[in-house]
Amino acid sequence: MKKTGLNKLDYIFEKIDIREVLEKVYLMSNDHIIKEVLDSGLKGRGGAGFPTGMKWKFTADEKDPEKYIVCNADEGEPGTFKDRELLDKVPDKVFAGMAVAGKAIGAKNGIIYLRGEYRYMLPQLLKQLDGFQKIIKEIGYDFTIEFRMGSGAYICGEESALFESIEGKRGEPRNKPPYPTVSGVFSKPTSINNVETLVTAILVMRIGAAEYNQLGTKDSRGSKVFSISGDTPIPGIYELELGMTVQEFVNEFGDGDTKAVQVGGASGFCVPRKKFADTIIGFEGVPTGGSMKLFNSSRSMYNVLHNYLDFFVEESCGQCTPCRVGCQQLLKGVQQVKKGEAKSAYLNELVKLADTMKIASKCGLGQSVGNAFKSIVDNFREEIIY
Amino acid sequence: MYQVGNLVKELSAKHGRDRASLMPILQGIVEKHNYLTDEAMVEVAKELDISAAEVYGTASFYTFLDTVPRGKYVIRVCKTISCSMKGKGEIIQTLENILKIKAGQTTSDKQFTLLETNCIGWCHKAPAMLINDMPYTELTEEKVIEIIKDYMHK
């Protein structure tokens, strides 16, 4: 089915009777729960897009009696703010997603890792969690959720760095394998899911995989919550059906003068105007955790790139050399080219460095710096040089 | 400088004494005293029976676990792209003028520290800043002056 156009939806934030869903799921077999999520085609909403049902299945298959569900609420990607809104508006769906996942994989413990920047929300969330724990206990779930706070480190959104942080250590990513489903937090089998993924899993449980499958495209099922900012008259949080082109998105959210859209934040891709019509927002085109930033023709793409590189230089954990030194050298390099201290051809060397970082960096941070770097340098080369 | 007193004992009684309790304990000290002194970190190390270097190594990794003196109110102005595009520079300027310090510094009465920070998740309401835990968004010069005056009278 080919989808066209932009379709605003209201599934994710819709108020529902959470007890009803939890009671229904409680009577389902664990295999059935996982099968529904697999059939729904739901992919992780944090940005990486790993199939959620497979993550649950792998964790369920582990024999260890102690397992964990971790909710990744360390939303740090520049331009992303939808998880805060979800925790603010529908926290019960987040908790319920964890309880359902816990039942399906056989975990009794849930941990929500909330970024330090959102600490002001904690008192309210704890109160809501209290009410939720009473509800699931009455139904019969054996599941307890606790909150752990971050302290201002972007890298802790990387799953294994997040586990290290929960364990009271520096948030430095681990080597993989083993993957979290085998050895996650406290070296126990762990399913770590983004806030929105857990909320969407509840939607799948409520309406069923077959109905959910009607939304979106073959590679990108369902709807998604987008965080929209930059040069737009209507910034904010919108739930949209997946499968639209950047052009359709810009027609709705642009200010009439959009020259580029950064899809997926600082670690995502820059799409220039000439590619708007041919680029699909989703796993078949440009994937995104929801961050959509619009730039109009008054913006210097050199400044945008410089800002992103500043960000990565500060947020690289420094553990592996390709990322630590690579980020610094990319920043220094574009500064030199801009000032005329290096020839414009030096940008080609920097692109090679970005490619090397993609292959040689230990985690997703260093591996994805090249996404923004290359897509901005390729498409706006003259703005970087002059 | 502050006296850490019984705080470390209270926090470890609440959160536990295993390694996983380290972050909540350090966060609890910062919540009360705004930063971590060497003495506080040594106390935590003793209480959890780990090396003080482990405590410092962990604390120094996290931006919000400061190991240098900070004021009672730590202002963190977002400098990432959306806030930068929407006038973060003017907000910093206004704060520097009213507090009579530069970004990175603390006022002599130890009330305010002015810092820049990376994306705090309010891009649709840029420019934005945090004062301790509280976010302030859609900032203008007038709004910033009003907010700081309120804190000055607290």
Q: Can you tell me the distance from the alpha carbon of A107 to that of A100, in angstroms, rounded to the nearest whole number? A: 10
Window 21-40 of A, Cβ < 8 Å to B: none
Q: How far is A291 from chain B (nearest CA, A)?
A: 10
Residues B29, B8: contact at Cβ < 8 Å?
yes
Picking from A186, A212, A238, the residue at the C-terminal end of a domain is A212
Q: Residue B64 domain-assigned? A: no
Residue A1 has pLDDT above 50, yes or no: no
Q: Residue A1 domain-assigned? A: no
**A288 lies within 8 A of chain B by CB:** no
Residues A121 and A192 in one domain: yes
Q: Residue B65 domain-assigned? A: no
What digits encode the pLDDT tens for the residues A81-125? 999 999 999 999 999 999 999 999 999 999 999 999 999 999 999
Q: Residue B79 domain-assigned? A: yes
Q: Residue B131 domain-assigned? A: yes
Which residue of B30, B44, B47, B61 to mutate against A (max A Cβ within 10 Å)? Answer: B61
Q: Residue A9 domain-assigned? A: no
Residues A159 and A287 in one domain: no
Which residue from A222, A172, A170, A305 is spatially nearest to A49, judged by alpha carbons?
A222
What digits encode the pLDDT tens for the residues A160-200? 999 999 999 999 999 999 999 999 999 999 999 999 999 99
Q: Residue B135 domain-assigned? A: yes
Residues B55 and B80 in one domain: no
Predicted-assembly ipTM surpassing the 0.95 threshold: yes
Residue A218 has pLDDT above 80, yes or no: yes
Picking from B59, B84, B101, the residue at the C-terminal end of a domain is B59
Window 52-71 of B, Cβ < 8 Å to A: 57-58, 61-65
Residues A114 and A23 in one domain: yes
Q: Residue B35 domain-assigned? A: yes
The confidence score (pLDDT) of residue B23 equals: 98
Domain of A237: which CATH number? 3.10.20.600
Q: Give the pLDDT band (50/70/90) at residue A6.
A: confident
The confidence score (pLDDT) of residue A127 equals: 98
Q: Before A123, cis peptide (omega within 30)?
A: no
Q: Residue B46 domain-assigned? A: yes
Residue A3 has pLDDT above 80, yes or no: no
What digits encode the pLDDT tens for the residues A328-356? 999 999 999 999 999 999 999 999 999 99
In the beta sheet, which residues pair with residue A145?
Answer: A110
Residues A267 and A134 in one domain: no
Q: How far is B87 from chain A (nearest CA, A)?
A: 12
For A237, name the nearest residue in chain B, comparing CA atoms only: B124
- Strand A269-272 relative to strand A291-296: parallel, antiparallel, unpaired? unpaired
Q: How far is B65 from chain A (nearest CA, A)?
A: 7
Residues A290 and A334 in one domain: no
Residues A52 and A186 in one domain: yes
Q: Can you point out the beta strands (E) in chain A?
A: 68-73, 109-114, 144-149, 190-194, 223-230, 236-241, 258-263, 269-272, 291-296
Picking from A265, A296, A327, the residue at the C-terminal end of a domain is A296
Residues B79 and B128 in one domain: yes
Q: Residue A13 domain-assigned? A: no
Domain total in chain A: 3
Q: Please indicate whether, in this complex, the C-beta atoms of B61 and A170 are within 8 angstroms of each other.
A: yes
**B138 lies within 8 A of chain A by CB:** no
Residue A255 has pLDDT above 50, yes or no: yes
The confidence score (pLDDT) of residue A4 equals: 55
Q: Please indicate whether, in this complex, the C-beta atoms of B118 and A81 are within 8 angstroms of each other.
A: no
* b/e sequence A348-377, b meaning 16+ C-beta within 10 Å: eebbebbeebbeebbbbbbbbbbbbbbbbb
Q: Residue B1 domain-assigned? A: no
**Is the four-CA dihedral A72, A78, A79, A81 of positive or negative sign?**
positive
**A119 lies within 8 A of chain B by CB:** yes
Supply A278's token pair: 């041919």
Q: Can you tell me the distance from the alpha carbon of A78 to that of A6, in angstroms, rounded to the nearest whole number? A: 24
**Burial class for A13, CB neighbours closer than 10 Å (0-12, 13-18, 19+):** middle
The confidence score (pLDDT) of residue B154 equals: 87
Q: Please indicate whether, in this complex, the C-beta atoms of B119 and A79 are within 8 angstroms of each other.
A: yes
Which residue range forms the structural domain that includes residue B93?
73-152
Residues B43 and B84 in one domain: no
Q: Please indicate whether, in this complex, the C-beta atoms of B118 and A78 are within 8 angstroms of each other.
A: yes
Residues A234 and A353 in one domain: no
Residues A279 and A308 in one domain: no
**Cβ count near A103 (within 10 Å):** 23
**Is the four-CA dihedral B54, B60, B61, B66 of positive or negative sign?**
positive
Question: Which residue of A154, A168, A303 is in closest CB contact with B20?
Answer: A168
Which residue from A197, A237, A184, A180 is spatially nearest to A96, judged by alpha carbons?
A197
Window 256-285 of A, Cβ < 8 Å to B: 262, 266
Picking from A180, A212, A244, the residue at the C-terminal end of a domain is A212
The confidence score (pLDDT) of residue A2 equals: 44
Residues B36 and B103 in one domain: no
Q: Can you tell me the distance from the alpha carbon of A284 to that of A292, in angstroms, rounded to the nearest whole number? A: 17
What digits encode the pLDDT tens for the residues A69-90? 999 999 999 999 999 999 999 9
Higher pLDDT, residue B105 or A5: B105
Q: Please indicate whether, in this complex, the C-beta atoms of B81 and A230 are within 8 angstroms of each other.
A: yes
Domain total in chain B: 2
Which residue range forms the structural domain that includes residue A315?
301-385
What residue ranges of chain B have pLDDT lower than 70? none
Q: Residue A153 domain-assigned? A: yes
